[in-house]
Amino acid sequence: MTAKPKRKVGVRARLAGLLIAPARRAMDLIDIPMHALQRRLGTGGVAAAMLAPNMLVFGVFVLFPMFLNVLYSFTGGGALFLNERVFVGTLQYETLLDCGSYADPATCREDRFWRAAGNTAFFVVIQVVALVIVSLMTALVLNREMRARGFWRAVFFFPVLLSPVVVALIWKWILQRNGVLNAMLVPLGIEPVLWLVERQWAMFWAIFVAIWAHLGFYTLILLAGLQAIPRDLYEAAEMDGTSRWRALTRITLPLLWPSLVVVILLALIRAVQVFDEVFVLTGGGPGTATLFLVQYIYETGLAQQVRNLGLASAASILMALVLIVLTLLQLLAAARRERRENR
């Protein structure tokens, strides 16, 4: 019978044990009241008690203001406090929805709301589609073996770290009459273009800047999704002689779908809420060419001489409804796809 070899405990492990020991002691101490609490409340009760502070904060700072918003939308007058405001029923909603033809904002009583709604819809469709495609392409490129990969990933992520106001100011300096872009075009014999004053260009740059500013965030999510796909799937496909395009459509995209759903959902919500960058970049102009719903709500509720909080609240409720419907549709589509794949 041979003697069992004695396990050698390394210095590093001992040191780690020493460092962890106080934490273990602390956890043991916490264990005492937790056991008492669990005996008293049961397992579910403890979970509820743990969640309660967070739910309280959520309730006070999110749910309660949302509830107040609904109440404000049924009131009128210039007063700030709800108890001093006049109940007007559905008047604010009727004002917003009073249109000869919804396709023509000029026929609507609150034409700026409908212009803002149209602009927002256009922005959401173009920006989200473009953002998802560009983010996906960027993630696919950054996922490949390449030189200075960390550097390139940082380059694409850098704009995410900037404040939206800074982003807008940088681009404003680039795009103004005497800005960098015109300074580059003039030597080529091209007349200076008023990029932020011509309607189509203003919308183009609003979308472009929004994509530039947020691209890194969505790329990062997709990159994480790509890295979670097992490499052996690609190796097997390669051995079977699968083309790159087929690998992309049959392996990458289906397995990336959960990440794509998250990206589309977040991009969609963020696009509907677009405000800060565009407000600083174009101020909603020229005219109302880049006026979006949140700016309309802000101006109606806060930047008028008589702050029309009722109308602004009603507009924000309508916007929230659209957002909820879009989110539900998105989630339904994702769930249906998942069910189909599981079958």
Residues that bind other proteins (CB under 8 A): 76-81, 86, 88, 106, 109, 111-112, 115, 177-178, 194, 196-197, 199, 282-291, 295, 299, 302-308, 310
Q: CA-to-CA distance for 96 and 318, rounded, in angstroms?
A: 9
Q: What is the DSSP string of 17-28?
A: HHHHHHHHHHHH
The nearer residue to other proteins, 216 or 277, going by C-beta atoms, is 277
Residues 276, 118, 102, CA angle at the centre, nearest 5°?
145
The nearer residue to other proteins, 98 or 235, going by C-beta atoms, is 98
Q: CA-to-CA distance for 218 and 224, rounded, in angstroms?
A: 10
CB of 71 to other proteins, least distance (A): 16
Residues 97, 99, 105, CA angle at the centre, nearest 5°?
105
CB of 163 to other proteins, least distance (A): 16
Q: CA-to-CA distance for 324 and 265, rounded, in angstroms?
A: 11
CB of 314 to other proteins, least distance (A): 13
Long-range pairs for 72-77: beta carbons < 8 A, 24 or more residues apart: 72/309, 72/310, 72/313, 73/310, 73/313, 73/314, 73/316, 73/317, 74/310, 75/309, 75/310, 76/310, 77/310
CB of 91 to other proteins, least distance (A): 10
CB of 286 to other proteins, least distance (A): 4
Q: CA-to-CA distance for 168 and 46, rounded, in angstroms?
A: 47
The nearer residue to other proteins, 159 or 284, going by C-beta atoms, is 284
The nearer residue to other proteins, 176 or 330, going by C-beta atoms, is 176
From the CB of residue 271, how many other CB atoms can be counted at a distance below 10 Å?
Answer: 22
The nearer residue to other proteins, 138 or 308, going by C-beta atoms, is 308
CB of 72 to other proteins, least distance (A): 13
Alpha helices in the chain (DSSP H): 11-58, 64-72, 91-97, 111-142, 149-161, 164-175, 180-185, 199-227, 231-239, 244-247, 253-272, 276-281, 293-302, 309-342
CB of 187 to other proteins, least distance (A): 17
Question: 110: which residues sit within 8 A by CB, 6+ positions away?
Answer: 95, 96, 98, 311
Q: CA torsion sign, 323 to 127 to 118 to 313?
A: positive
